[in-house]
Amino acid sequence: MTAAGALPVIFFREVSAKVLDGFLGFAAGVMLAATSFSLILPGIEAAGGGVYAALVMAAGILLGALFLDASNRYLPHRHFLKGREGAGVSLQRIWLFIFAITLHNFPEGLAVGVGFGSGDPEGILNGLTLAAGIGLQNLPEGLAVAAALVGLKYGLPAALGVAALTGLVEPVGGLLGVAFVNISAPLLPWGMAFAAGAMLFVISDEIIPETHRRGFERIATFGVMIGFVVMMFLDITLG
Protein backbone atom coordinates (compact mmCIF):
# COMPACT_ATOMS: atom_id res chain seq x y z
CA MET A 1 0.00 0.00 0.00
CA THR A 2 2.91 2.33 0.67
CA ALA A 3 4.32 1.60 -2.78
CA ALA A 4 0.88 2.02 -4.38
CA GLY A 5 0.45 5.37 -2.66
CA ALA A 6 3.71 6.58 -4.22
CA LEU A 7 2.65 5.81 -7.81
CA PRO A 8 0.81 9.11 -8.52
CA VAL A 9 4.16 10.95 -8.59
CA ILE A 10 4.79 9.23 -11.94
CA PHE A 11 2.03 11.40 -13.42
CA PHE A 12 2.01 14.37 -11.03
CA ARG A 13 5.55 15.37 -10.12
CA GLU A 14 4.36 18.22 -7.90
CA VAL A 15 1.79 17.49 -5.18
CA SER A 16 0.59 20.59 -3.34
CA ALA A 17 1.47 21.03 0.32
CA LYS A 18 -2.24 21.41 1.10
CA VAL A 19 -3.05 18.00 -0.39
CA LEU A 20 -0.11 16.35 1.35
CA ASP A 21 -1.02 17.81 4.72
CA GLY A 22 -4.64 16.71 4.31
CA PHE A 23 -3.58 13.16 3.43
CA LEU A 24 -1.08 12.99 6.30
CA GLY A 25 -3.78 14.25 8.67
CA PHE A 26 -6.00 11.43 7.39
CA ALA A 27 -3.20 8.96 8.14
CA ALA A 28 -2.88 10.34 11.68
CA GLY A 29 -6.62 9.98 12.24
CA VAL A 30 -6.59 6.35 11.07
CA MET A 31 -3.67 5.59 13.39
CA LEU A 32 -5.38 7.31 16.31
CA ALA A 33 -8.58 5.31 15.87
CA ALA A 34 -6.61 2.08 15.38
CA THR A 35 -4.75 2.80 18.61
CA SER A 36 -7.98 3.38 20.51
CA PHE A 37 -10.32 0.72 19.13
CA SER A 38 -7.96 -2.02 17.93
CA LEU A 39 -5.23 -1.90 20.59
CA ILE A 40 -6.22 -0.16 23.82
CA LEU A 41 -9.78 -1.50 24.16
CA PRO A 42 -8.87 -5.12 23.24
CA GLY A 43 -5.82 -4.81 25.50
CA ILE A 44 -8.01 -3.85 28.45
CA GLU A 45 -10.26 -6.84 27.73
CA ALA A 46 -7.27 -9.19 27.35
CA ALA A 47 -5.90 -8.00 30.72
CA GLY A 48 -9.21 -8.79 32.42
CA GLY A 49 -10.37 -5.25 33.13
CA GLY A 50 -10.25 -3.43 36.44
CA VAL A 51 -7.33 -1.74 38.13
CA TYR A 52 -4.78 -4.31 36.93
CA ALA A 53 -5.76 -3.77 33.28
CA ALA A 54 -5.57 0.00 33.73
CA LEU A 55 -2.07 -0.27 35.21
CA VAL A 56 -0.88 -2.64 32.47
CA MET A 57 -2.17 -0.38 29.70
CA ALA A 58 -0.76 2.76 31.31
CA ALA A 59 2.67 1.20 31.83
CA GLY A 60 2.76 -0.40 28.36
CA ILE A 61 1.74 2.81 26.60
CA LEU A 62 4.46 4.77 28.37
CA LEU A 63 7.05 2.07 27.59
CA GLY A 64 6.12 2.18 23.91
CA ALA A 65 6.48 5.96 23.86
CA LEU A 66 9.84 5.81 25.66
CA PHE A 67 11.09 3.22 23.16
CA LEU A 68 10.24 5.47 20.21
CA ASP A 69 11.69 8.49 21.98
CA ALA A 70 14.99 6.66 22.56
CA SER A 71 15.02 5.54 18.93
CA ASN A 72 14.52 9.13 17.79
CA ARG A 73 17.34 10.32 20.04
CA TYR A 74 19.98 7.76 19.15
CA LEU A 75 19.27 6.56 15.60
CA PRO A 76 20.26 8.99 12.85
CA HIS A 77 17.34 10.13 10.70
CA ARG A 78 16.03 13.16 8.87
CA HIS A 79 12.54 14.68 8.79
CA PHE A 80 11.26 16.31 5.62
CA LEU A 81 10.70 19.66 7.34
CA LYS A 82 12.41 19.50 10.75
CA GLY A 83 15.70 18.34 9.29
CA ARG A 84 18.28 16.03 10.83
CA GLU A 85 17.88 14.37 14.24
CA GLY A 86 19.53 11.55 16.17
CA ALA A 87 23.14 10.50 16.54
CA GLY A 88 25.81 12.33 14.60
CA VAL A 89 26.58 9.61 12.06
CA SER A 90 27.60 10.77 8.59
CA LEU A 91 25.14 9.27 6.13
CA GLN A 92 23.72 10.32 2.79
CA ARG A 93 20.52 12.29 3.14
CA ILE A 94 18.38 9.66 1.41
CA TRP A 95 19.41 7.05 4.00
CA LEU A 96 18.51 9.45 6.80
CA PHE A 97 15.03 9.70 5.26
CA ILE A 98 14.79 5.92 5.11
CA PHE A 99 15.67 5.65 8.80
CA ALA A 100 13.07 8.30 9.65
CA ILE A 101 10.21 6.55 7.86
CA THR A 102 11.38 3.19 9.20
CA LEU A 103 11.12 4.53 12.75
CA HIS A 104 7.66 5.78 11.84
CA ASN A 105 6.40 2.55 10.24
CA PHE A 106 7.79 -0.03 12.65
CA PRO A 107 5.11 0.54 15.33
CA GLU A 108 2.40 0.07 12.71
CA GLY A 109 3.69 -3.37 11.76
CA LEU A 110 4.16 -4.22 15.42
CA ALA A 111 0.55 -3.25 16.11
CA VAL A 112 -0.78 -5.53 13.34
CA GLY A 113 1.34 -8.44 14.56
CA VAL A 114 0.17 -7.97 18.13
CA GLY A 115 -3.41 -7.72 16.87
CA PHE A 116 -3.10 -11.20 15.36
CA GLY A 117 -1.20 -12.46 18.38
CA SER A 118 -3.91 -14.28 20.29
CA GLY A 119 -4.53 -16.62 17.35
CA ASP A 120 -8.24 -17.09 18.12
CA PRO A 121 -10.95 -16.01 15.65
CA GLU A 122 -11.55 -12.74 17.49
CA GLY A 123 -7.82 -11.96 17.47
CA ILE A 124 -7.53 -12.76 13.78
CA LEU A 125 -10.45 -10.46 13.00
CA ASN A 126 -8.87 -7.72 15.11
CA GLY A 127 -5.59 -8.20 13.24
CA LEU A 128 -7.35 -8.02 9.86
CA THR A 129 -9.11 -4.81 10.89
CA LEU A 130 -5.82 -3.30 12.00
CA ALA A 131 -4.11 -4.43 8.80
CA ALA A 132 -6.86 -2.84 6.70
CA GLY A 133 -6.63 0.43 8.61
CA ILE A 134 -2.83 0.59 8.57
CA GLY A 135 -2.80 -0.28 4.87
CA LEU A 136 -5.31 2.50 4.23
CA GLN A 137 -3.20 5.11 5.98
CA ASN A 138 -0.06 3.88 4.20
CA LEU A 139 -1.43 5.23 0.91
CA PRO A 140 -0.98 8.91 1.83
CA GLU A 141 2.31 8.12 3.55
CA GLY A 142 3.71 6.59 0.37
CA LEU A 143 2.58 9.65 -1.60
CA ALA A 144 4.12 11.99 0.97
CA VAL A 145 7.49 10.19 0.92
CA ALA A 146 7.72 10.02 -2.88
CA ALA A 147 6.52 13.58 -3.43
CA ALA A 148 8.91 14.96 -0.83
CA LEU A 149 11.89 13.15 -2.37
CA VAL A 150 10.96 14.29 -5.88
CA GLY A 151 10.67 17.83 -4.52
CA LEU A 152 14.19 17.47 -3.13
CA LYS A 153 15.43 16.63 -6.66
CA TYR A 154 15.76 12.87 -6.22
CA GLY A 155 15.03 10.89 -9.36
CA LEU A 156 11.70 9.16 -9.88
CA PRO A 157 13.12 5.60 -9.48
CA ALA A 158 14.82 6.58 -6.21
CA ALA A 159 11.64 8.23 -4.87
CA LEU A 160 9.46 5.22 -5.72
CA GLY A 161 12.07 2.77 -4.45
CA VAL A 162 12.50 4.52 -1.11
CA ALA A 163 8.73 4.74 -0.62
CA ALA A 164 8.39 0.99 -1.22
CA LEU A 165 11.42 0.21 0.95
CA THR A 166 10.07 2.13 3.93
CA GLY A 167 6.90 0.03 3.83
CA LEU A 168 8.85 -3.22 4.05
CA VAL A 169 9.68 -2.66 7.71
CA GLU A 170 6.04 -3.26 8.62
CA PRO A 171 6.05 -7.03 7.93
CA VAL A 172 9.20 -7.23 10.06
CA GLY A 173 7.43 -5.42 12.89
CA GLY A 174 4.43 -7.70 12.40
CA LEU A 175 6.52 -10.85 12.78
CA LEU A 176 8.14 -9.47 15.92
CA GLY A 177 4.72 -8.58 17.32
CA VAL A 178 3.35 -12.08 16.73
CA ALA A 179 6.49 -13.67 18.19
CA PHE A 180 6.36 -11.41 21.22
CA VAL A 181 2.82 -12.19 22.26
CA ASN A 182 3.13 -15.91 21.45
CA ILE A 183 5.93 -16.33 23.96
CA SER A 184 3.35 -16.03 26.69
CA ALA A 185 -0.38 -15.30 26.61
CA PRO A 186 -0.15 -12.79 29.53
CA LEU A 187 2.13 -10.65 27.32
CA LEU A 188 -0.71 -9.93 24.86
CA PRO A 189 -2.12 -6.86 26.71
CA TRP A 190 1.43 -5.60 27.28
CA GLY A 191 2.16 -5.94 23.57
CA MET A 192 -1.04 -4.10 22.65
CA ALA A 193 -0.27 -1.30 25.10
CA PHE A 194 3.34 -1.04 23.91
CA ALA A 195 2.27 -0.82 20.25
CA ALA A 196 -0.41 1.74 21.18
CA GLY A 197 2.13 3.91 22.99
CA ALA A 198 4.57 3.75 20.09
CA MET A 199 1.85 4.74 17.62
CA LEU A 200 0.62 7.60 19.83
CA PHE A 201 4.18 8.90 20.03
CA VAL A 202 4.50 8.84 16.23
CA ILE A 203 1.17 10.65 15.80
CA SER A 204 2.06 13.45 18.21
CA ASP A 205 5.80 13.76 17.61
CA GLU A 206 5.97 13.15 13.87
CA ILE A 207 2.80 13.37 11.81
CA ILE A 208 0.72 16.16 13.32
CA PRO A 209 3.65 18.62 13.75
CA GLU A 210 4.64 17.99 10.12
CA THR A 211 1.12 18.87 8.94
CA HIS A 212 1.05 22.14 10.93
CA ARG A 213 4.22 23.73 9.56
CA ARG A 214 2.99 25.12 6.26
CA GLY A 215 -0.20 26.93 7.18
CA PHE A 216 -2.73 24.18 6.38
CA GLU A 217 -3.63 23.19 9.93
CA ARG A 218 -7.38 23.33 9.23
CA ILE A 219 -7.13 20.97 6.24
CA ALA A 220 -4.91 18.62 8.26
CA THR A 221 -7.32 18.70 11.21
CA PHE A 222 -10.27 17.74 9.03
CA GLY A 223 -8.06 15.01 7.58
CA VAL A 224 -7.50 13.69 11.11
CA MET A 225 -11.25 13.72 11.80
CA ILE A 226 -12.13 11.93 8.55
CA GLY A 227 -9.38 9.35 9.04
CA PHE A 228 -10.52 8.68 12.60
CA VAL A 229 -14.15 8.22 11.51
CA VAL A 230 -13.20 5.90 8.62
CA MET A 231 -11.08 3.66 10.85
CA MET A 232 -13.69 3.71 13.62
CA PHE A 233 -16.34 2.66 11.09
CA LEU A 234 -14.11 -0.19 9.85
CA ASP A 235 -13.39 -1.37 13.38
CA ILE A 236 -17.01 -1.30 14.53
CA THR A 237 -18.48 -2.93 11.41
CA LEU A 238 -15.74 -5.57 11.02
CA GLY A 239 -15.21 -6.17 14.73
Grade residue 59 by pLDDT with cuts at 50, 70 and 90.
very high
Q: What is the pLDDT of residues 61-79, one digit of tens each?
A: 999 889 888 877 766 545 5
Task: Flag whether pLDDT at 228 surpasses 60.
Answer: yes
Task: Flag whether pLDDT at 230 surpasses 90.
Answer: no
Say what the pLDDT of residue 75 is. Answer: 63
Mean pLDDT, the chain, rounded, equals 78
Task: Flag whether pLDDT at 221 surpasses 90.
Answer: yes
Task: Flag whether pLDDT at 56 surpasses 80.
Answer: yes
* 7 vs 95, residue with greater confidence: 7
Task: Flag whether pLDDT at 91 surpasses 70.
Answer: no
Torsion from C-alpha of 103, 105, 111, 116, nearest 10 degrees: -130
Overall average pLDDT of the 45-73 stretch: 89
Task: Flag whether pLDDT at 85 surpasses 60.
Answer: no
Grade residue 206 by pLDDT with cuts at 50, 70 and 90.
confident
Say what the pLDDT of residue 199 is. Answer: 82
User: In terms of pTM, does the model score above 0.75?
Assistant: no
Strand partners, 84: 78
Grade residue 89 by pLDDT with cuts at 50, 70 and 90.
very low
Overall average pLDDT of the 185-207 stretch: 83
Torsion from C-alpha of 111, 116, 121, 126, nearest 10 degrees: 10
Overall average pLDDT of the 179-201 stretch: 80
Say what the pLDDT of residue 101 is. Answer: 63
Overall average pLDDT of the 7-13 stretch: 79
Domain boundaries, the chain: 2-6+16-238
Grade residue 118 by pLDDT with cuts at 50, 70 and 90.
low
Task: Flag whether pLDDT at 208 surpasses 50.
Answer: yes
Phi-psi region of 86 (alpha: psi -120 to 50; beta: other; left: phi over 0): left
Say what the pLDDT of residue 239 is. Answer: 61
Task: Flag whether pLDDT at 212 surpasses 70.
Answer: yes
